[in-house]
Structure 1
Amino acid sequence: MTSLAGKVIALTGCSSGIGLATAKHLAAHGATLSISDIREGPLTETAEAVRKIGREPMVTVLDIAKETEVNSWIQETVKIFGRLDGAANIAAIHSEFTLVIDIPTDDWNKVIAVNLTGTMNLLRAQLQVMKSGASVVNISSVGGVHGVPKAGTYCASKWGLIGLSKSAAIEAGHDGIRVNVIAPGLIDTPQLASISDDDFSNNDAAVNKMIPLQRKGKPEEVASLIRFLLSDDSSYVTGSTYHIDGGLYL
Structure 2
Amino acid sequence: MDFLLYGKKILVTGGTRGIGHGIVLAAARAGADVLTCHRQDGEAVDSLVHALKETDGDHHVIRADVGDTDEIDRLLAEAKDRFGRLDGVVNNAGVISHIPFAELEPDEWARVIDTNLTAAYRVTQQALPLMGRASSVVNIGSRGAAAGIPLRAHYTAAKAGMIGMTRSLAKELGPQGIRVNVVAPGVIETEAFDTMPAERAEGLRATYSKKTALGRLGTVEELAGAVLFLLSDHSAYLTGETINVDGGI
When the two structures are superposed, what TM-score results if normalisation uses the length of structure 2? Answer: 0.91
CA deviation string 1:77-130 (max 9, x = no partner) = 1222221110111110112232x2332222211111111111111111112321
Structure 1 residue aligned with 2:107? 106
Asked if the contact 1:193/1:202 (under 8 Å) is kept, the reply is no
Asked if the contact 2:210/2:216 (under 8 Å) is kept, the reply is no
Q: Secondary structure at the match of 1:132?
A: strand
Structure 1 residue aligned with 2:185? 184
Residue correspondence of structure 1 range 147-158 to structure 2 within 5 A: 147-158=148-159
Give, as a single letter, the amino acid of the residue that structure 1 aligns with 2:103: D
Structure 1 residue aligned with 2:15? 14
Structure 2 residue aligned with 1:75? 77
Question: Where does structure 1 lack aligned partners over 5 or more consecutive residues?
Answer: none
Shift of 1:192: 6.7
Structure 1 residue aligned with 2:52? 50
Find the aligned partners of 2:93 and 2:211 in 1 and give their Cα distance: 26
Q: Residues 193, 169 of structure 1: CA spacing in aligned structure 2 closer, same or farther, 3 A cutoff?
A: farther
Q: Secondary structure at the match of 2:177?
A: coil
Find the aligned partners of 2:130 and 2:242 in 1 and give their Cα distance: 24
Shift of 1:54: 2.3
Give, as a single letter, the amino acid of the residue that structure 2 aligns with 1:89: N
Report the number of matched residues. Answer: 244
Give, as a single letter, the amino acid of the residue that structure 1 aligns with 2:70: T
Q: Secondary structure at the match of 1:164?
A: helix
CA deviation string 1:45-99 (max 9, x = no partner) = 212211212233122111111112112211221222221110111110112232x
Find the aligned partners of 2:45 and 2:126 in 1 and give their Cα distance: 22
Q: Secondary structure at the match of 1:133?
A: strand
Q: Residues 192, 171 of structure 1: CA spacing in aligned structure 2 closer, same or farther, 3 A cutoff?
A: farther
Q: Secondary structure at the match of 1:182?
A: strand
Find the aligned partners of 1:129 and 1:56 in 2 and give their Cα distance: 17
Residue 86 of structure 1 is aligned with which of 80, 85, 88? Answer: 88
Structure 2 residue aligned with 1:212? 213
Q: Residues 152, 86 of structure 1: CA spacing in aligned structure 2 closer, same or farther, 3 A cutoff?
A: same
Asked if the contact 1:5/1:30 (under 8 Å) is kept, the reply is yes
When the two structures are superposed, what TM-score results if normalisation uses the length of structure 1? Answer: 0.91
Q: Residues 12, 202 of structure 1: CA spacing in aligned structure 2 closer, same or farther, 3 A cutoff?
A: farther
Question: Where does structure 2 lack aligned partners over 5 or more consecutive residues?
Answer: none
Structure 2 residue aligned with 1:25? 26
Give, as a single letter, the amino acid of the residue that structure 2 aligns with 1:237: L
CA deviation string 1:184-218 (max 9, x = no partner) = 0000124577899xxxx962221222112111110
Q: Residues 113, 193 of structure 1: CA spacing in aligned structure 2 closer, same or farther, 3 A cutoff?
A: farther
Shift of 1:157: 0.9
CA deviation string 1:6-27 (max 9, x = no partner) = 1000011111111111111111
Structure 2 residue aligned with 1:134? 135
Alignment partner of 1:240 is 2:233? no
Structure 2 residue aligned with 1:3? 4
Q: Residues 73, 39 of structure 1: CA spacing in aligned structure 2 closer, same or farther, 3 A cutoff?
A: same
Structure 2 residue aligned with 1:223? 224
Asked if the contact 1:15/1:39 (under 8 Å) is kept, the reply is no
Q: Secondary structure at the match of 1:9?
A: strand
Find the aligned partners of 1:66 and 1:58 in 2 and give their Cα distance: 20
Q: Which shifted more, 64-73 or 228-237?
A: 64-73
CA deviation string 1:214-246 (max 9, x = no partner) = 111101111111100000000000100000001
Find the aligned partners of 2:124 and 2:188 in 1 and give their Cα distance: 24
Asked if the contact 1:186/1:192 (under 8 Å) is kept, the reply is no
Asked if the contact 2:31/2:56 (under 8 Å) is kept, the reply is no
Asked if the contact 1:33/1:58 (under 8 Å) is kept, the reply is yes
